[in-house]
Chains A and B, each alone.
Chain A
Amino acid sequence: MITALLVMTGIALVLGAVLGFASIKFKVEGDPLVEKIDAILPQTQCGQCGFPGCRPYATAIADGEAEINQCPPGGEEGIRKLADLLGREFKPLSEEHGVEKPKSVAVIDEATCIGCTLCIQACPVDAIVGAAKQLHTIVAAECTGCELCLAPCPVDCITMEAITETVDTWKWRYPVVEIKAA
């Protein structure tokens, strides 16, 4: 019996050592927290979270000054990722900060644009090109859909258009072959 116990203990020790070694060896080194949070935020820079951009919000989260559910463009998935990263409880998107919308881009109606440059100043990511008194255009690929240029435009010629799926952005759906109770 004693031998058996000894053998079992020995085996347990060896196994423990192997597993422990593995967990040390495969541990990943992390970058600072703010970077990690900022990497999850969608970088729309819309300010709906109540901070002037994603990074300030990331800093606020890291400092524990903001909740994780204030970013509408990031949506539920974003909140989930933040919750995972920070080990916090998942919360639904806070309503006072806005609602999740399909991603869209701003489009300037070029017939009405008066070239006042106000939208350029509002755009947080320099996605609008044009000079004073000239037609302004939005570089669709760079527009984050933050809607910040809508309000300043004096002639209301900017509208948001939902991005439509193309063959290049089309995605295969998650295979749902749910087994139904027979």
Chain B
Amino acid sequence: MLRKLFKFHGGVKPQTNKTQSTTAAIAAVPLPDRLVIPLHQAVGGHPRPLVQPGEHVLKGQRIGGADGNLSSAVHASTSGIVRDVAQAVMPHTSGLTTLSVIIEPDGEDRWCELEKVNYRSTPPDELRDFLRDAGVVGLGGAVFPSYAKLKPGKEGKLKTLVINGAECEPFITCDDMLMRERASDMLKGIVAMRYMLQAEEVLIGIEDNKPEAVASVQAAIRASGETGIEAVAIPTRYPAGGAKQLIRVLTGIEVPHGRRSTDFGVQCFNVGTAFSIFEALEHGRPLISRLVTVAGNVTAPRNYDVLIGTPMDHLVRLAGPRPDTDRYIMGGPMMGVRMPGFDVPVVKATNCVLVGSPALFPAPPPEMPCIRCGECAKACPADLAPFEMYWFSRSKNFGKAQEYHLFDCIECGCCSFVCPSHIPLVDYFRFSKSEIWSREREKESSDGARDRFEFKNFRQEREKQEKAEKLAAKAAATREKVATEGAATPAAADGEAAPKPKPSATDAKRALIEAAMEKARQQKAQVAPKNTDHLAPDVEADIAAIDARRNAAPARAADTPDA
């Protein structure tokens, strides 16, 4: 039976360059000298470190605990000694650092005790906690914690579970190889997900330039005897592997920006994610390794099973980088991100290390003005008008850019790919988006500041008023007393604790402050302030004068009766 497929608007057909890395089987990587495992690898909160420098960890041991309501745990990828828990450069274009655990492998690669679960007998909430603590995240590149997506929608069940094996980015073949070599295990993961989501049918979308993968998955489905699971070959067109585009192709549903796909009865996972769910449930193994394609400017492009935290240059060395290599790109040529260095670690989001050279990926020709030819709009899979968004992004008119649905842009790069004026359109959109986000953050904090400022003013007003009222009431009471009792007796005046004159209250406070200051001064003296050495004579004189004044303070404090 041929399934009716749908089309998405636009898309492009870049040269795929996939065959080079599929000739050899998936290979293992020798242990590197050092693993750098960033704690923040997934969308959501920053996991907190659970290990100390010097500690010995076992393979699979949790080293970063999930933090906040959307976060995912991180594990040691091999056994060894924690050398440091420190900031290290992360695989991100910015070149910024993030808190990472640095492990020196002991070579034994010894697993910690692993705990399996039976997903059919475990309550869903516990199962989700288990997957969170196993660090399972989306391996397609978005690294969204999977447990958070494994919730059926409001109805408690789902129509379609879409499994993404489209892999539309040129050069990348890790999903292809996974489907060829590990289809039956992956299928078990899919069956588990289907159970958790109560999905009626499962559609595995695979671009038709991967016939071996389609055949292998189909064979696995037949062998398993499962029904309602289908491997569907879809037309090869970038970005068919975008979650929204794939859902559209397979089901005809368009999930708008900012809406949950479960509201439309679909959910989408990557094939790699399915495999790691299988590993977690069946063997209790947390996500500590993944398949990575090494391609581009190397002599032997290939797929490797890589431990998370392996430095990229250690991995690339195996594939034989050519001497003119000038950069690594994490991901493919369309959406990949340029790495700030060669020794950044492989993380959960690393589906490919694309080795670049000036010859392979030349700098774009000079940017010309937009001629409004509309090529970009024809290519945009989100049906946007990129040239309008570009116009407003360029002039920093962000409000207008948003009116043209800037945030529906999935940054697929199709528009930059086709633009005859060689405009880096996506760069403008990334710029606008991050600028808008930062403005929103600023606005939020300035709104908060305004509110708190206004509240403080209001509070001070109120306190002043209350004090005045109290004083007035007291004064009235005293006057009344004086009036009724005639002459005031000394005892009455004392016992009543008539409002003390204000200055004395402040004096008392000042005395307290100064006593405390003395303590502080001594403390400070103990830590020997650095900035008082080698000073000019006049400054030293100043300091002496201040000290003299300070020393006089306790004496004055003792004079006041209240002290």
Contact = CB atoms under 8 A, between A and B. Distances in A.
Please indicate whether A and B come from the same complex rather than being unrelated chains.
Answer: yes
Contacts of B428: 175
A57 to B, nearest CB: 12
A14 B188 CA distance: 68
Contact of A125 (B435, B449, B513, B524): B449
B40 A167 contact: yes
A73 to B, nearest CB: 10
A155 interface: yes
| 7 pairs of A and B residues whose beta carbons are closest in the complex | A43-B446, A114-B516, A175-B427, A172-B430, A171-B434, A177-B367, A43-B449
B96 A166 contact: yes
Contact of B449 (A112, A142, A166): A142
A155 B520 contact: yes
A83 interface: no
Interface residue tally on A, bucketed by range? 35 or more
Contacts of B442: 42
B513 A114 contact: yes
Nearest to A42: B446
B96 A112 contact: no
Contact of B94 (A42, A43, A167): A167
A179 B424 CA distance: 13
Judged by DSSP, the binding face of B is helix
Given A116-B513, A125-B452, A170 B431 contact: no
B453 A124 contact: yes
A179 B427 CA distance: 16
A116 B523 CA distance: 16
Given A124-B453, A125-B456, A167 B523 contact: no
Interface string B507-520: 00000111011011
28 contacts: A38-B450, A43-B449, A44-B449, A53-B453, A114-B517, A114-B520, A116-B516, A126-B456, A133-B516, A142-B448, A142-B452, A155-B520, A166-B96, A167-B90, A167-B92, A167-B94, A167-B98, A170-B92, A170-B94, A171-B431, A171-B434, A171-B435, A172-B427, A172-B431, A172-B434, A175-B428, A175-B431, A179-B367
A169 B366 contact: no
A148 to B, nearest CB: 11
B445 interface: yes
A43 B453 contact: yes
Given A170-B434, A172-B427, A179-B367, A112 B520 contact: yes
B524 A112 contact: yes
A77 to B, nearest CB: 10
Interface in A32-68: 38, 42-45, 53-55
Interface in B464-493: none
Contacts of A144: 445-446, 449
Contacts, number: 101
Contacts of A116: 512-513, 516
Interface in A50-96: 53-55
Interface in B406-451: 424, 427-428, 430-431, 433-435, 438, 441-442, 445-450
Interface string A86-120: 00000000000000000000000001111110100
A126 B450 contact: no
A106 B44 CA distance: 27
B368 interface: yes
B200 to A, nearest CB: 38
Contacts of A118: 513
A22 interface: no
User: Max chain A CB contacts within 10 Å: which of B441, B446, B452, B457?
Assistant: B446
Contact of A54 (B450, B456, B523, B524): B450
Contacts of B441: 169
B361 interface: no
B455 interface: yes
A123 B385 CA distance: 47
Given A111-B527, A141-B445, A126 B427 contact: no
Contact of B456 (A111, A124, A157, A172): A124
Contacts of A170: 92, 94, 96, 434
A42 B447 CA distance: 9
A127 interface: yes
Given A124-B456, A142-B448, A167-B40, 17 more contacts: A43-B447, A44-B449, A45-B453, A53-B453, A54-B453, A55-B453, A112-B520, A112-B524, A114-B513, A114-B516, A114-B520, A124-B453, A142-B445, A142-B449, A155-B517, A171-B431, A172-B431
Contact of B513 (A45, A154, A166, A179): A154
B201 to A, nearest CB: 38
Contacts of B521: 155
